[in-house]
Every structure is written in C-alpha cells, then in structure tokens.
Structure 1
Amino acid sequence: MPGDEKNVMKLGIYGGTFDPVHLGHLILAESVCEQLSLDEVWFVPAFQNPHKMGRATTPPKARMEMLRFAISGNPRFRLCDLEIKRKGHSYTFETLQAIQELHLDAEKYLLIGADSLTDFPNWREPETILSLAKLVAVNRGRSPAVIPEYLEPSQVCLLEMPAIDISATEIRNRCEAGQSIRYLTPRSVELYISANQLYKPSPEESETT
C-alpha cells in the first residue's frame, strides 16, 4: 500500500582535502542538494589524499574545525570524520563501504568535479565505487562537460553550477603573501586562519626569501 512505502534517504558524499574549505565547495554542495533534492551532504575530509602527495597538508584537526565553522547553520550539511579516524591514505571506496554499513538503505551520491572524470579510472577500485554510489559530476567551468566513453550514462549524473574561480591553492598562496582572502571563504574560516596563522611561511622560509 502507498502508505507503507518507506522514504529512502538521499545522501550526498563530498570528499576532499578541504585545505581550506572555501565558498566554491559550499556552493557546489548546495547546488547539488537543490538539483537532486538530497536530504544531507556529508563533507568527508581526507586524512591523506593519495592524489596530493606532493605537499604537506594542514593537520586534520584544523581542517575539521574550519569545516565545522563553514557548514554550521545549514541543516543539510554534516561533517563526517571517517577518513580522519581511519588515518593513512584516504581511499574513496573504503569510505563508501564504511558509509554503506551505517546507511544500508540510503541512496548514495558521490560528489566530484567534472574535471575528475578523466582520472576516475585511475582511482583505487573504481568499480567498487560505482557499485556503492552514483557519481555526481559537477561542471564548475565555463565549457560544457561530457561523460567519458568508459562510463555508462546511468552511472553518472552530470550537473552544472555557476563558474566559481576559487581554489584552496589560491587561498593558501594569498595567505602566504599577506593578501586578503575576504569573500573567498566564510568569514568564520577566514578568522580561524588568521588567528592560527595558517598558511604563513615558516620563519626559516621567511629568512631565505
């Protein structure tokens, strides 16, 4: 009977280094929430992103705190510390398996940038990822994105969002140069970065420049 039907939770999963979280991340998550009518989006900061092994990342505690500040006030956004607790390299398939155990009945959507589709076959166990969640590839650029031939149209949902030219690299570089990051990240995150002197060059580096 229709009245006996169970409402299935629609859960978005948004992983990344978030070093630091910025307005582009938040606009992407909100855009996907709206377009797919998601119940929640879980922000999952990586302990160590295997795709970004060339530089040291800010300690997990600080990145978690910045995320808490950034998503506070949005009832659909949640912070998930599964990868931080697991430590080591943060592989998406392992995270999805852990979330599957927590929410077996939820429809899971993995949020990624459309530019990541090209490299997706090189991720660890891509077939496992596709068996556990539907890819939501969000085009953040100004040119139309396309679904690669190796993916079936049923495996990926291609969405558009306004082009937001903000990157965590830009924010780190501006902090290092002593430039303003106002309006690139939430004010609470900006103040946290300033108070904790994040992304500033070390005294040793300053002496050599």
Structure 2
Amino acid sequence: MKIGLYFGTFNPIHIGHLIIANHMAEYSDLDQIWMVVTPHNPHKQKSSLLDDYHRLHMVHLATEDYPKIQPSDIEFKLPQPNYTVNTLAHLQEKFPKNEFSLIMGEDNLNSLHKWKNYEVILQNHDIYVYPRLNSGEIDKQFVNHPKIHRVGAPVIELSSTFIRESIKNDKNVVPMLPNKVWEYVEHNLFYKK
C-alpha cells in the first residue's frame, strides 16, 4: 500500500490541510494519507503549540469522514526533536509491506537540502509536492528529480498562525475550520490568549 505522510503541527488543523490531503488521496497514486501530528518541529518554537493530544484529537475530528485519510501519532513515541529521516526509518521497519512517501508544499521543497540526511530520504522515498504561492526558486537538483512528483493541487494560502491570531482577536474563523474542530476549539477556549 502506498501511504503519503503529511506532517504538521496542525495547530489547529484547518480546511486547507484537508483540501490538500483529500486531493492527494483522490488525484495521485497514493492509497492513503496519514496526517502525522508532529509533537515538536525542530524549526518551530514549542511554546506556541497546544498539547500534543489536543492537536491529535482535532485531526481525528477533522478526518473521521474521510476513509482515505487518517491521523497518526507515530512521532509521539520517537525521540525529540523529530527528524523526518528517523520517522521514515521507524515506519518502514514497523510496516515493511507499505511504501511511504512524503507530502510537502513547494516552500518545503526549497529547504529540503537543509533537512537531516535529505539524500537518504530522496533515495528511499517519493515526495509529492503541492504548489504554494511565493515559494521561490526550486533548487536545481530537485527540478527533474525522478522521486519528486508535482501534484496540481489547489493553491491554499491559509495558515494555522493566521487562524490562531484571528481567534485571539475575536474574528470569525468558522469557515476555515472543519465544524467539529471549531466546536472543540471554541469549547476549550483555545488560542484566546
């Protein structure tokens, strides 16, 4: 089975994430998409993150009506900070019959050469790239790489940071979040301060 790993802090998960994940599930050769909730991204400050299990629960709420998309807490059990190369090695060992690929935005592709052991990732895994506005120029080594697949997914310029700031400033973000996620955020008064 071909599984696309969509990593993120999902703080909170929003409709943009779901649109990309669903597009990958329906319009690529991936059989399933796993939304991998990252407990601590080495490039983000941990202090701004909601508790890992709240974010995982929101991904459960957001994906329960999408049979090809499921949440994953695989990184919760791994040493921190998490590096993608380590997570991929762990998954391949745990699920040897599955083939794991990465899903990332063009902006992440631009910084791929800075990732820990990115050559190992590219040697062993496909990467599915969705378009982003203002992603800059792609490094020449990645332009026609046989392991990198560009997917013409919709361009979604919506960020969790924008949503958190909007909630803090009492703006209506209901259209940006799956209904159950919004209800959970509202009920728990998340991002108010």
Bin for the TM-score computed over the shorter chain: over 0.9
Correspondence for 2:172: 180
Offset at residue 160 of structure 1 (A): 1.8
- Provide, for residues 77-127 of structure 1, a one-character-per-residue CA deviation record: whole Å limited to 9, x for no partner: 111111112252121111111110122232322000011111111111111
Partner Cα distance (2:26, 2:138) in 1: 21
CA RMSD of aligned residues (A): 1.8
Amino acid of the structure 2 residue aligned with 1:71:
T
- The alignment status of 1:79 with 2:75, answered yes or no, reads no
- Provide, for residues 147-190 of structure 1, a one-character-per-residue CA deviation record: whole Å limited to 9, x for no partner: 53122520200112222221101110011011111110101000
Offset at residue 54 of structure 1 (A): 7.0
Amino acid of the structure 2 residue aligned with 1:149:
K
Correspondence for 1:199: 191
Correspondence for 1:112: 104
Amino acid of the structure 2 residue aligned with 1:85:
K
SS of 1:154's equivalent? coil
SS of 2:45's equivalent? coil
Amino acid of the structure 2 residue aligned with 1:200:
K
Pair member with larger Rg: 1
- The alignment status of 1:49 with 2:33, answered yes or no, reads no
- Note the residue ranges of structure 1 that are not aligned, 5 or more in a row: 1-8, 202-209
* 1:112 and 1:137 in contact (8 A); partners too: yes
Q: Tell me: CA distance 1:70–1:41, structure 2 relative to 1, closer, same or farther (3 Å).
A: same
Q: Tell me: CA distance 1:54–1:71, structure 2 relative to 1, closer, same or farther (3 Å).
A: closer
Correspondence for 1:149: 140
* Runs ≥4 residues deviating over 4 A: 143-147
SS of 1:153's equivalent? coil
Q: Percent identity?
A: 31
Correspondence for 1:22: 14
Residue of 73, 88, 110 corresponding to 1:96: 88
Offset at residue 55 of structure 1 (A): 4.6
Amino acid of the structure 2 residue aligned with 1:106:
N
- TM-score, scaled relative to structure 2: 0.92
- Provide, for residues 46-68 of structure 1, a one-character-per-residue CA deviation record: whole Å limited to 9, x for no partner: 11001112752111011011000
Offset at residue 37 of structure 1 (A): 3.0
* 1:23 and 1:185 in contact (8 A); partners too: yes
SS of 2:175's equivalent? coil
Correspondence for 1:129: 121
- Provide, for residues 121-158 of structure 1, a one-character-per-residue CA deviation record: whole Å limited to 9, x for no partner: 111111121133111111033x7987531225202001
Tell me how many residue pairs correspond in the alignment: 192
